[in-house]
Amino acid sequence: MSIEVGDAERALHRRMGLACAAATAAGLPGRFRVWEHGGLLAVLATDPALGFLSTVSGVTPETLPALDGLLAGWDPTVLTTGSEVPEGLVRTEDRLLAVRRLGEPPAADPGITEADDADDVVDVLLAGYEVTGVVAAFVAAEHRVPAMRRFLLVEGGTPIAAAGMTVHGDVAVLGGAATLPEHRGRGAQPRLLRHRLRVAADAGCVLAVATARAGSVSAANLGRAGFRRYRRSAWTKP
Q: By the 8 A CB rule, do 63 and 39 touch?
A: yes
| pLDDT, tens digit, 9 for 90 and up, residues 113-131 | 999 889 999 999 999 999 9
CA angle, 2 then 4 then 7, to 5° = 110
| pLDDT tens-digit map of 140-190 | 999 999 999 999 999 999 999 999 999 999 999 998 899 999 999 999 999
Instruction: Give the span between the Cα atoms of 80 and 162, in whole angstroms.
Output: 30
pTM above 0.75, yes or no: yes
Angle at the Cα of 220 from the Cα atoms of 208 and 49, rounded to 5 degrees: 75
